[in-house]
């Protein structure tokens, strides 16, 4: 396949965003081809979560272009809802629907948005819960699950929409240390299955093992864009060296 | 006891009307109140403005004046003719819905913003998000103030007596015409109201218990 016939899954060009006087994204250029796993690293406040959230327009941008699978992001409305249905998102705080059981959480969007018959949606939901290893928790409410189980349920909920691309916004940052691995395992499995993923994380192990590419952000800019080996062994910029120095020493 | 037993038909008839007023305007103000709350959290500025204007005007107007409008002024507009009972239902519903709206809106504010973000990220439309995710959780968190609003509505129905509706508030006048002891009659009316409110309090307790698990 040539580059012309397949547009990148995500394309950001000249993206700028401000929070009041704060310039959180500075002229961001990024193309993520289909099937690639991109890990976004950077110190807190560097704009990496904002970057992730602009891709399905949870944060609108002030200038520039964002395209998903060749489609520019439409304005808020039905068309944007359709596009979001194809973009899975996993949040730091899980955001499972508190008043619904785990299986209902996973079934909801396929039934409401895709108009899948409930019986079929339930079957798919159970398979997904099986895949993330929490089928036995299907009838419980989110508050009755551990953080790791909740995040795996949230991944299943996103996958139920059969998304073209998955966005992860610090998926393990709110987890107790012993639960981080079970979530990362699910994500590594997804990466192996060829899912296009953009992962904002602090998990260097995951970046080394599962990423095809590492983006390093600082002060709203993409400072480095390289392979994990390159980034971890020979970072080019001082900001990346400084960042790695701080996190890898202990 | 004599006042009550001698006039039991009168009490039953009047309180039946009270309950009718309460039931019909209760349902109407719940639906209208939820609709107004949806307007007030809408992303469309015109809708938000309309909701805010409604609540400001109606909630700040004394209930008696809302009745005066629908019983005396409204007929001059010659739109649709109301009976007194219907006029009372309309006045009570429009008035109470402004309070229901604010209760629902305070409930919406307790739902974490992540719930709405997750719904949007899954491709739900604004109405689907409100209907399936935000409102069900909002209503669960406002059971006590919502029940208080409905208790107030039940007692506010007595204002209709001043506008020719033969409900509990009109019992005093009816007894007075019959030459009965109106003070004792009023005490009975008060006692029956206390009894009528009790099921609402019970409902509140049941709902609070059932819905506390889910959050």
Q: Cα separation of B118 and B176, whole Å?
A: 62
Mutate to test the interface with B, among A80, A97, A139 (most CBs of B within 10 A): A97
**Closest by Cβ to B117, choosing from A58, A108, A113:** A58
Q: Evaluate if pTM is beyond 0.95.
A: no
Over residues B40-85, the pLDDT tens digits come to 999 899 999 999 999 999 999 999 999 998 888 888 887 887 888 9
CA nearest to A145, candidates A190, A97, A177, A112: A97
Chain B closest CA to A150's CA: distance in Å?
14
* pLDDT tens-digit readout, A207-249: 999 999 999 999 999 999 999 999 999 999 999 999 998 887 6
DSSP for B4-50 reads HHHTHHHHHHHHHHHHHHHHHHHHHHHHHHHHHHHHHT-SSHHHHHH
Got the DSSP string for chain B?
-HHHHHTHHHHHHHHHHHHHHHHHHHHHHHHHHHHHHHHHT-SSHHHHHHHHHHHHHHHTS-HHHHHHIIIIIGGGG-SS---HHHHHHHHHHHHHHHHHHHHHHHHHHHS-HHHHHHHHHTT--HHHIIIIIIHHHHHHHTHHHHHHHHHHHHHHGGGGGGGT--SGGGHHHHHHHTT--HHHHHHHHHHHHHHHHHHHHHHHHHHHHHHHTT-
User: How far A97 CA lies from chain B's nearest CA (Å)?
Assistant: 6
CATH code of the domain covering residue B117 = 1.10.3720.10
What is the secondary structure of A30-77 as a DSSP string?
EEE-TT-EEEEE--TTSSHHHHHHHTTTSS--SEEEEEETTEEPPPTT
Q: What integer is the mean pLDDT of B183-208?
A: 94
Chain B positions touching A89 (Cβ under 8 A) are: 118, 121
Query: pLDDT at position A249, please?
Result: 64
- pLDDT tens digits, residue range B96-120? 999 999 999 999 999 999 999 999 9
Q: A91 vs B114: CB contact, 8 Å cut-off?
A: yes
Give the pLDDT of residue B26.
97
Confidence of residue B22 (pLDDT cuts 50, 70, 90): very high
| Whole-angstrom distance, CA of residue B44 vs CA of residue B21 | 34
Spatial neighbors of A27 by CB under 8 A, at least 6 apart, are A14, A15, A16, A64, A221
Reported confidence tier of residue B23, pLDDT bands at 50, 70, 90: very high
Residues A82 and A76: their CA atoms lie apart, in Å, by: 11
* Contact partners, residue B70, CB within 8 Å, separation at least 6: B82, B87, B88, B90, B91
A99 to B137: CB separation less than 8 angstroms, yes or no:
yes
b/e for A6-28, b at 16 or more Cβ within 10 A? Answer: ebbbbbbeebebeeeeebbbbeb
Query: What pLDDT is attached to residue B214?
Result: 53
Maximum CA pair distance of chain A? 55
Phi, psi of A215 (to 5 degrees): -110, 130
Contacts of B111 (CB under 8 A, 6+ apart): B133, B134, B137, B138, B141
* CA count, 13 A, side-chain hemisphere, B54: 24
pLDDT tens for each residue of B134-182: 999 999 999 999 999 999 999 999 999 888 888 888 999 999 999 889 9
Residues A151-166, mean pLDDT to the nearest whole number:
96
Q: How far apart are CA A203 and CA A228, in angstroms?
A: 12
Do A109 and B123 lie within an 8 Å CB cutoff? Answer: yes
Asked if B148 and B106 count as a contact pair (C-beta separation under 8 A), the reply is no
Q: What is the distance in angstroms between the CA of the first residue and the CA of the last residue of chain A?
A: 44
Per-residue pLDDT at B79: 80
- Model pLDDT, residue A1: 46
Give the 3-state secondary structure of residue A207: helix
Residue A162: closest C-alpha in chain B: B122
No. of helices (H) and no. of strands (E), chain A:
9, 10
Q: Do A95 and B43 touch (CB under 8 A)?
A: no
Q: What pLDDT was estimated at residue B103?
A: 98
What is the residue range of B27's domain?
Answer: 2-211
Across the interface, which of B120, B133, B140 has its CB nearest the CB of A97?
B133
Measured CA to CA, the distance from residue B170 to residue A69 in angstroms comes to 70
B122 to chain A: closest CA residue: A85
Does pLDDT of B215 surpass 80?
Answer: no
Q: Is the pLDDT of residue A52 over 80?
A: yes
Q: What's the number of domains chain B is made of?
A: 1
- Comparing CA positions, the residue from A120, B176, A206, B177 lying closest to residue A197 is A206
pLDDT at A214: 95
* pLDDT band at residue B122 using 50, 70 and 90 as cut-offs: very high
**Domains along chain A?**
10-94+165-248 (3.40.50.300)
pLDDT digits (tens, 9 = 90+) for A71-112: 999 988 889 999 999 999 999 999 999 999 999 999 999 999
Residues in A whose CB is inside 8 Å of some CB of B read 56, 58, 76, 78, 81-89, 91, 93-99, 108-109, 112-113, 141, 143, 154, 157-158, 161
Task: Give the bridge partners for A23, in sequence order.
Answer: A18
Q: What is the pLDDT of residue B70?
A: 86
pLDDT at B83: 85
Supply the pLDDT for residue B47.
97
């Amino acid at each position: 396949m040539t580059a012309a016939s397949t547009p990148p899954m995500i394309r950001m060009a000249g993206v700028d965003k401000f929070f009041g006087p704060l310039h959180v994204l500075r002229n961001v250029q990024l193309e993520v081809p289909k099937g690639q796993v991109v890990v976004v690293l950077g110190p807190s406040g560097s704009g990496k979560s904002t970057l992730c959230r602009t891709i399905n327009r949870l944060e609108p941008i002030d200038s520039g272009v964002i395209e998903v699978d060749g489609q520019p992001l439409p304005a808020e409305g039905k068309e944007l809802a359709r596009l979001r249905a194809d973009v899975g998102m996993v949040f730091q705080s899980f955001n499972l629907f508190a008043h619904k059981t785990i299986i209902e959480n996973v079934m909801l969007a396929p039934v409401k948005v895709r108009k899948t018959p409930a019986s079929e949606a339930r079957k798919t939901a159970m398979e997904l819960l099986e895949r993330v290893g929490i089928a036995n928790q299907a009838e419980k409410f989110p508050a009755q699950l551990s953080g790791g189980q909740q995040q795996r349920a949230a991944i299943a909920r996103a996958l139920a929409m059969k998304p073209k691309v998955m966005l992860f916004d610090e998926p393990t940052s709110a987890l107790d240390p012993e639960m981080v691995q079970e979530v990362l395992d699910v994500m590594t499995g997804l990466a192996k299955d060829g899912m296009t993923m953009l992962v904002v994380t602090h998990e260097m192990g995951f970046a080394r093992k599962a990423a095809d590419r590492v983006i390093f952000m600082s002060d709203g800019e993409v400072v480095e864009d390289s392979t994990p080996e390159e980034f971890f062994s020979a970072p080019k910029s001082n900001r990346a060296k400084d960042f790695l120095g701080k996190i890898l020493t202990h | 006891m004599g006042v009550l037993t001698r006039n039991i038909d009168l009490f039953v008839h009047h309180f039946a009307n009270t309950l009718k007023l309460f039931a019909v305007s209760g349902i109407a103000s719940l639906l209208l109140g939820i609709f107004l709350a949806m307007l007030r959290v809408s992303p469309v500025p015109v809708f938000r403005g309309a909701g805010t204007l409604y609540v400001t005007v109606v909630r700040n107007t004394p209930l008696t004046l809302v009745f005066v409008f629908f019983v005396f002024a409204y007929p001059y507009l010659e739109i649709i003719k109301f009976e007194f009972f219907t006029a009372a239902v309309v006045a009570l519903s429009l008035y109470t819905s402004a309070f229901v709206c604010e209760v629902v809106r305070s409930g919406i504010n307790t739902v974490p913003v992540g719930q709405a973000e997750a719904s949007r990220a899954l491709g739900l439309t604004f109405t689907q998000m409100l209907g399936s995710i935000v409102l069900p959780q909002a209503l669960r968190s406002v059971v006590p103030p919502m029940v208080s609003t409905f208790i107030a509505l039940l007692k506010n129905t007595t204002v209709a007596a001043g506008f020719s509706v033969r409900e509990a508030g009109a019992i005093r006048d009816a007894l007075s015409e019959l030459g009965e002891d109106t003070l004792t009659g009023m005490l009975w009316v008060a006692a029956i109201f206390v009894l009528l409110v009790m099921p609402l309090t019970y409902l509140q307790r049941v709902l609070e218990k059932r819905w506390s698990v889910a959050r």
